[in-house]
Chain A
Amino acid sequence: MKRKVVSAVIVVVCFLLQCTLFNTLALGSVKPNLLIILTSAFGFTRGHKDGMVIGFFSGLFIDIQFGELLGSYALIYTVIGFINGFFKQIYYDDDVKLPLFLIAGSELVYGIIIYIFLFMLRGNFQFIHYLGQIIIPELLYTLIVSLGLYPFLLFVNHKFEAKEKRSASKFV
């Protein structure tokens, strides 16, 4: 229960930071995507279900406030959370390379999906241009931010895991 509340607070805070504070931190009109970091990190540390739920609510927030089609961003983030869940089996805590790789991959996939559905279908075919101007800079900036955010998420996760283990061993 406590874990759910804390997760919800993390999602809301990240969404708020994303739309307010990070506008002033934008470099070359590009800002990092905190919600992708969250969705991806919850996916590969906690598994399919948590990844999907976190992704769904992150996307839903964007849909409500900025989206044109309710549910579209929610679906994209849900699927990203689900796919990240597959990597729970080969993930372990001390590894930094895999998480960063997964976050970068998620960010790249997200950028390409947005390009295809919202730009290519309207007749903008200069993919290389968008890749260089938005997708790659956003990816790099997101990676830099995830170096700070990901250890924090890991720390929170460890705390809860230790607590859950303790309360589980009480019954044994």
Chain B
Amino acid sequence: MRKKNQSSLTNKYWLLAISGICIILMVLSLISNSASAPFRGIANITVIPMQKGINQVGMWLSDFSSNFETLQSIKKENKALQEKVDTLTIENNNLQQEKYELERLQELYKLDQNYADYEKIGAHVIAKDSGNWFSTFTIDKGSADGIKVDQNVMAGSGLVGIITETSTHWATVRSIIDDSSNVSAMVLSTSDRCMVRGDLSLMPDGKIKFEQLENNDNEVPVGEQIVTSYISEKYLQGILIGYVNEINVDSSNLTRSGYITPAVDFRNLQEVLIITTTKADLKEAESTDSTQE
């Protein structure tokens, strides 16, 4: 009997000790960000290389299976694509003309910031959040490759998210569909500002919410592009977030809200592009420019 009591006592001490360690870790990571650095370093040499390996095998397998697609469907696709190329060439010519005009006008206005020319780094997605509550994922590039916290992450032409943590050879990205994500955005054609919020309950439908769009005379049709806004603290201006799917006037009659279909397919995310310039860098450059003048 005594022996049993003793063992349950030591178990309680174990619980207290481990809980104590957890609480100390929490306090440390609240106080400073560098508390988790040694742990991330350990992950760097243990878990991350294995995840990279598994990911490579998975990619090889998916490539292998996609090779079996029949030739016929590819031929059909080729025909459709050829038609698309033709129409796009015409469109491109028109746009090119407009671009020259724009450049000329921009020169007149001295607006020489071109948002399309950011330098980007490519990276593979190697792991996703272990639970079902959040949408964060890990990429196989880290601070050694020039990744920093707050850099914007894209895939194709759309915004994916933002870097939240980095280690030497991996980094964590919080996607814009994550429930705790907020992006300051605007309607492309009218420059009306709104907030784009990730929502767990919309995740199965593959949509995200936008709110606080001013209820003014500017009409926002379904299919309108939503891009990151000029006042955003962390996101660079003009990155495509998605297309308006549904828009409603709120009960207050002052604002509008609705749903966006993201430009990125978050379910099958394999490669992402990281823009190496952060908004803070741009602001710094701007402020030094203005002081020089």
Contact A65 B133 (CB under 8 A): no
**Which of A71, A119, A122, A138 gathers most chain B CB within 10 Å?**
A71
Q: What is the chain B residue whose CB lies nearest that of A82?
A: B15
Cβ–Cβ < 8 Å partners of B58 in chain A? 20-21, 24
Contact A70 B132 (CB under 8 A): no
Cβ–Cβ < 8 Å partners of A18 in chain B? 130
Expressed in whole angstroms, the minimum distance between the Cβ of A88 and any Cβ of chain B is 11
Partner of A119, one of B18, B129, B179, B267: B179
With A20-B51, A75-B19, A79-B19 known to touch, is A64 a contact of B201 (CB < 8 Å)? Answer: no
Interface residues of A, CB < 8 Å — how many? 51
- Distance, CA A124 to CA B28, complexed state (A): 28
A148 at the interface (CB under 8 A from B): no
B280 at the interface (CB under 8 A from A): no
With A16-B51, A64-B43 known to touch, is A30 a contact of B29 (CB < 8 Å)? Answer: no
- Distance, CA A21 to CA B36, complexed state (A): 26
**Which of A74, A85, A126 gathers most chain B CB within 10 Å?**
A74
Contact B19 A65 (CB under 8 A): no
Cβ–Cβ < 8 Å partners of A129 in chain B? 201
- Distance, CA A79 to CA B127, complexed state (A): 26
**A112-136 at interface with B (beta carbon < 8 Å):** 114, 118-119, 122, 124, 126, 129-130, 133-134
- Distance, CA A162 to CA B26, complexed state (A): 40
Cβ–Cβ < 8 Å partners of B128 in chain A? 19-20, 23
Contact A15 B47 (CB under 8 A): yes
- Distance, CA A78 to CA B136, complexed state (A): 23
Q: What is the chain B residue whose CB lies nearest that of A48?
A: B11
- Distance, CA A118 to CA B28, complexed state (A): 20
Expressed in whole angstroms, the minimum distance between the Cβ of B76 and any Cβ of chain A is 27
A100 at the interface (CB under 8 A from B): no
Cβ–Cβ < 8 Å partners of B130 in chain A? 15, 18-19, 33, 35, 61-62, 65-66
In addition to A56-B21, A71-B21, 11 A-B residue pairs with Cβ atoms within 8 Å of each other are: A12-B47, A18-B130, A19-B138, A48-B14, A52-B18, A64-B36, A71-B25, A78-B18, A79-B19, A82-B11, A138-B132
CB-defined A-B contacts under 8 Å, sample of 5: A48-B14, A52-B14, A62-B131, A65-B172, A70-B28
By a beta-carbon cutoff of 8 Å, the part of chain A in contact with chain B is 12, 15-16, 18-21, 23-24, 28-31, 33, 35, 47-49, 52-53, 56, 59-66, 68-72, 74-75, 78-79, 82, 85, 114, 118-119, 122, 124, 126, 129-130, 133-134, 138
